[in-house]
Chain A
């Protein structure tokens, strides 16, 4: 089916998320929609899927204008969508999820589970997905959950399949498998819209590339365009994708983790006997697919989450950390922490930037005058930090929640680096951040390293890991599969991320 978007405009108040966007996807084509976080890709697709109503413009399928008042209409017209955050019900089985909204029914509206199962098995077999129709979705790995989403779309005879940032949660191997599936579907005639900000994947799989920046189409490109060409189209200026850094000059050991185990919220061992150490002047990257214990490890390092009693120890600057150390103790011992979810754990959205900047030192003399806040000092410090860390805001008295993702993250980084730290733990520091801010944050991390601090970078983005790390520890199911050098190949790292020891 041929999909055409004509002059789609979508506004949210003052913000123009999509500005008269035109896009044509031919039948059987894999069409990549490339753009930074916040460029308006997802908004566009939600318009296409009927979740949002466009303010202007038309959607045409096979040259016929369509009117979608909800996702139901879009689906009925043959549009299927795999959302970035899966739209699956965790406590339902695969068959139930696939059938939902489109259930085979018998007398009294009884749900024919057997038929629903059959449908899943049939599609799963046709494309070699290998999905168990009776498995509970919450028990499945994300890669399989994604296939369930694809089956869901296919079971509704989707002729146009939209994949919104589908590789964000996948291992490199799973990504390759997904690309094979995409090619196979395209071959069978399905048109595919592949939304992403990852250049490598676009070049590998797309037939055609449309680049979006700040809500506008900035141009088309062929998949053989060079990476730097695509990147500069996406960002709007020349970008240097490589991070320049000197040879590491290693100093004393700043962090030693010995054989620690940590429980997750469901009381299962999320971290199991992990040991590593970090020296001053190096970046140790902890790589791995999301959900392999990195979150819990970071929280344990900070003292937010207890280490299982007697399981092991953490030493900072050669000093043994008490097992019941409070977060404040840890911070005072010279640790800076950039949490993985800045909206949830990094900032108070309803506070101003200045208030957020003093959060980790609210009790310290620089910000206080007796029992009061020293407003003058805070003003001066926050103004200074906003400039130094290039936070794009009219003033430090603006609400942190109103900033873009990149600028929010810069506030967090500024707060953590303002104090003198010996060790910086950065958990997913560039997730959902624009390229400009990514470059800036990467520079800051390297600067910390070169200033003789130890840096732990927890990242699921292999590109980021390879760009920054001096050593790479790969985590899989709560264990460190191996610690390797930065020259290790992507393939090798990919294997390790899937649990194959080095």
Chain B
């Protein structure tokens, strides 16, 4: 679209394209038409609070199609604002995109729940719980990749963590021990990757894939031979208690979603900001990022590249192990065959989508958590709509987000390149 603006001299600033307003405009029209004008009849009830909550908010009731029209029109207006911004060569701010996204989600929920209710707390809370393994896996990825090592083995680390947490908790009847075992074993697995990558300069992708296949094999074998035989004793840990944080959990909507959870969720909510802080505000983080960008430069100022990489990958592994524990003792209550089901790979995608930034990656993980619960819930409220279609929606949104808004992301410069001294 460069004809709209004269090219302004050499080395001109990158021009803001019209991708954002176009994508936003098209999607707004889709919402306006399919959820609004051609929408479904019936009332949609948005339940912001649960029956047992201390503070009760009134329910919000609206005709499904009417909601579609309203949100569609507002989304169209946002798209127009974005267009004006693009014409003035400035980017659409991320908060505006977020509002736009929330409106779209609201329209989708309203459309699905025609003649039904939308339990907001339930959906948001479950999305968070389901997102935790992905989120922690992504934190492991951020830690490892920021220091310059590709960790494809996150999937295996989640699976290891899930297995160890279930088995050790069952046998010892102690969740703390189970979670510790999960983190420890996954960290050991990371150490293997780290040693191969750092000391033997092995191709990191290959090592990661091999570790994944190995863990799938081992856990399948043990599951078959041991857990199914003696399930009562070794694979029946149950789940962690749900903890209500006093006062905070009484905040309407946010309280039950954020502050009434199992320890695994709280841990994730804590680890994400802590990792952000360490990565961007401390000496350790500065050094790790330096090592991932330009290891030789880091070496010349006396930073031990190998040691830094080793520990960042290893501690990342422990966090992924915790993510695995969140699958069993934090949610399902028992170990199942290959129960990580690709979450580790989604975590890798989430790392890139979040541009190697802990907070953005955590938000991206939430998107995937939401997509999982959406499928389950949509099947209940609107059995007529093919769930496969619903499942697609978040991924379509993701692709659009990546193409339209995230733009080109820049990985750490020395990612997956072994550092050889001298």
Contacts and interface: CB of A to CB of B under 8 A. Distances in A.
Chains A and B come from one and the same complex? yes
Given A105-B283, A109-B282, A110-B282, A81 B14 contact: no
B298 A269 contact: no
Given A268-B12, A269-B10, A92 B300 contact: no
Given A89-B294, A111-B283, A477 B11 contact: yes
Interface stretch (B103-111, B285-293, B342-350): B285-293
Contact of B300 (A71, A76, A103, A110): A71
Interface residues of B, number: 29
Contacts of B289: 89, 92
A86 B422 CA distance: 16
Interface string B4-21: 000101111010000000
A49 B300 contact: yes
B95 to A, nearest CB: 24
B286 A111 contact: yes
A269 B422 contact: no
B301 A71 contact: yes
A461 interface: no
Size bin of chain A's contact surface: 35 or more
B297 interface: yes
Contacts of A269: 7, 9-12
A58 B133 CA distance: 55
A334 B125 CA distance: 70
A268 B8 CA distance: 11
A225 to B, nearest CB: 33
B19 to A, nearest CB: 15
Interface in A27-73: 49, 51-52, 70-73
Interface string A391-422: 00000000000000000000000000000000
Contacts of B410: 91
A96 interface: yes
A109 B284 contact: yes
Nearest to A271: B10
B296 interface: yes
Nearest to B410: A91
B299 interface: yes
A108 B12 CA distance: 42
Contacts of A92: 286, 289-290, 293
B323 to A, nearest CB: 24
A326 interface: no
B303 interface: yes
Of B7, B283, B293, the most chain A CB neighbours within 10 A belong to B283
A128 interface: no
A103 B12 contact: no
A268 B12 CA distance: 7
Contacts of A71: 299-302
Contact of A479 (B10, B301, B303): B10
Main SS of chain A's interface residues? Answer: loop
B10 A272 contact: yes
B281 interface: yes
Interface in A133-180: 152
A99 B283 CA distance: 9
A92 B289 CA distance: 9
Contacts of B298: 89, 100-101
A446 to B, nearest CB: 34
A226 interface: no
A236 interface: no
Interface in B10-66: 10-12, 14
A477 B9 CA distance: 11
A297 to B, nearest CB: 13
B12 A101 contact: no
A88 interface: yes
Contacts of A91: 293, 410, 413
A183 interface: no
Of A52, A81, A269, the most chain B CB neighbours within 10 A belong to A269
B300 A52 contact: no
A101 B302 contact: yes
A87 interface: yes
A368 B172 CA distance: 75
A75 B300 CA distance: 9
Nearest to A267: B14
A70 B286 contact: no
A311 to B, nearest CB: 10
Nearest to A46: B422
A87 B294 contact: yes
B286 A75 contact: no
Contacts of B299: 51, 70-71
Contacts of B11: 268-269, 477-478
B420 to A, nearest CB: 12
A90 interface: yes
Given A51-B422, A87-B296, A90-B294, A101 B287 contact: yes
Of B10, B285, B289, B299, the most chain A CB neighbours within 10 A belong to B10
Given A100-B290, A101-B303, A88 B297 contact: yes
A99 B286 CA distance: 10
Contacts of B283: 103, 105, 109-111
A355 B415 CA distance: 33
A256 interface: no
A71 B422 CA distance: 12
Given A110-B281, A479-B10, A100 B287 contact: yes
A108 B301 contact: no
A86 B284 CA distance: 22
A51 B293 contact: no
Contacts of A228: none
B259 to A, nearest CB: 25
Of A71, A72, A101, the most chain B CB neighbours within 10 A belong to A101
Contacts of B297: 86-89, 100
A242 interface: no
A90 B296 CA distance: 13
Given A51-B422, A89-B297, A72 B302 contact: yes
A103 B298 CA distance: 13
B407 to A, nearest CB: 12
A108 B278 CA distance: 9
A323 interface: no
A305 interface: no
Nearest to B296: A87
Contacts of A86: 297
A81 B300 contact: yes
Contacts of A477: 10-11
Across the A-B interface, the 3 shortest Cβ-Cβ residue pairs: A72-B302, A101-B301, A87-B297
10 contacts: A52-B422, A70-B302, A71-B300, A90-B413, A92-B286, A92-B289, A100-B301, A101-B302, A103-B287, A105-B283
Given A100-B298, A110-B283, A269-B11, 18 more contacts: A49-B300, A51-B300, A70-B302, A71-B299, A73-B302, A81-B300, A89-B293, A90-B293, A100-B286, A100-B297, A101-B287, A101-B298, A101-B303, A105-B282, A105-B283, A110-B282, A111-B286, A477-B11
